[in-house]
Chain A
């Protein structure tokens, strides 16, 4: 393990001049080796922008994102230590490439063809997919299976950190649990660092060791899972927890208004 993934005073901006929008405003966050950090917040709070910056998809306006002292925000990195799994399992796999080809592409360079095949099969087994599925196209798989493939592809790169961005939100409830269990099991087996992004507090609580709450591009609360979710200090975290719908509870006035719309 090369050390923690460190976000230091990270600012991310979209657009320029008078049209500039600040998606992330001075975030400091650390994802220690072998731990799961949950990142929660409403849509547009900057969670995904922060994650994309860590894999070089979004430029950082200022600040640093480092893993073991190596800047991760550039696009020129050869070794891919931070891997990301995206929300939509239906569109994140190239429909023309077989599952095996997609996973093989993520393997580190310099591995021979025969070894690649073995590696692909092993990574598939790791995510509970039969290795013969390597020759299938993504269209032959269910959403849950595709998300497992996406996870396998991330693991194939032998990362130190996996960023899981809303990986269960496009799946139906019956599949969400199995994917989360898989993430948790793999994280423990491989001693990975995971940054789990979700707007679903239950999902984050289930898997994470520590939780960071993000609002309007800033982290407003950070602490252990129980601490943040049972004794929230920041009013936004309290509001977030109050907004969680509960079976059997009465709808508030705002819910009625939404329904009428």
Chain B
């Protein structure tokens, strides 16, 4: 073939490592580090996180002061002696000016001091350290379960129902997913207990006692979000399947599995990841109700107990942990999203 030499070997310069810039450029004195999209992306994200954490900390501090009446009187009861109330107010620092209390609260946070429980007298940080691992484990397992269900289900449904095929399957899936994702997790938890623990006796009714005790609370937390994610992923995958670059890949006669693996799945999952972050945050909050249904010894149980007992320092501490956890989860999702889809880091930076 004439001109075939163009397909032969030739000396071509290597591509530089920095995307979008020719080799040899760059800023002096280390300023080129800031020109790295990742550095700019992380700097901006961390700054945003700091502002958000500050807002959460301030809100939780103000919480105790915005409660109508005297929180100490509310906690100790109307019949509690006035001198006891006064001494407790003194020990909690509630008689100090608001700004002094705020500075003292911030200082305590930096040293890990979240105050002392008004009921038990135990440091709040100790109670949280004791309960947090159970909640983190429950939330993580539920999230992994939700993803493990949603990803294959959503993608399989997209492939089965693309181009208007299998209308019956599509209707069955979307209806089931809509119903499942609309059921509140505590209601689903009660239903699961009634069927699988009380009637069938397959799993423990409540408490944390061995691997089998995880099944029902994890399912109660995961099923709704899993179906919601699967629906979103199906729609996303259908959109990507119709994209021109997928058609181009097929025209190149790439094996079908490669078309799905390289083009369809990553592009569909990128969108799902953003929503997945929100779901994970919501799932963490969902542990509050599910832990109470299953008497799970975690933070969710603790916050409800402390609210009922009007143990405000404990409520304050747990709310702070939940709030900052959601913020850090969002940051983690953004970083993962940046790795999965470099465009997001470039856009953000």
Contacts and interface: CB of A to CB of B under 8 A. Distances in A.
Interface of A: 1, 34, 52, 55-57, 75, 77-78, 80, 83-84, 86, 88, 91-98, 100, 105-106, 117-119, 121-122, 125-126, 130-137, 139-140, 150, 153, 157-158, 188-191
Interface in B227-260: 243-245, 247-254
B253 A135 contact: no
Contact of A86 (B12, B23, B248, B263): B248
Given A136-B19, A140-B19, 11 more contacts: A57-B250, A83-B252, A88-B244, A93-B248, A94-B249, A96-B270, A118-B9, A122-B12, A125-B10, A131-B13, A132-B13
Contact of A84 (B7, B13, B16, B251): B251
A136 B267 CA distance: 18
Contacts of B82: none
Contact of B248 (A1, A92, A98, A158): A92
A56 B248 CA distance: 11
Query: Closest 6 interchain pairs by CB?
Result: A121-B12, A91-B244, A191-B2, A55-B251, A94-B245, A190-B3
B17 interface: yes
Interface in B80-95: none
Interface stretch (B141-149, B180-188, B296-304, B340-348): B340-348
Nearest to B9: A118
Contacts of B67: none
Nearest to A188: B3
Contacts, number: 118
28 contacts: A52-B251, A55-B252, A57-B247, A83-B251, A84-B248, A84-B251, A86-B244, A86-B247, A91-B243, A92-B244, A94-B245, A94-B267, A97-B262, A100-B15, A105-B252, A118-B10, A118-B12, A121-B14, A130-B22, A131-B15, A132-B23, A135-B16, A137-B343, A153-B252, A157-B252, A158-B7, A190-B3, A190-B6
A137 B251 CA distance: 21
A190 B1 contact: yes
Contact of A132 (B15, B244, B248): B15
Contact of A95 (B3, B4, B22, B343): B343
Contact of B10 (A84, A122, A132, A133): A122
B68 interface: no
A113 to B, nearest CB: 13
Given A132-B23, A137-B342, A191-B3, A121 B15 contact: yes
B204 interface: no
Nearest to B251: A55
A188 B6 CA distance: 12
Nearest to A94: B245
Contacts of A75: 250, 253
Contacts of A118: 9-10, 12
Contacts of B22: 130, 132
A132 B342 contact: no
Nearest to A163: B251
Contact of A189 (B3, B16, B17, B263): B3
B20 interface: yes
Contacts of B245: 91-95
A77 B263 CA distance: 20
A121 B23 CA distance: 15
In this complex, which of B253, B263, B267 has the most chain A Cβ atoms within 10 angstroms of its Cβ?
A: B253
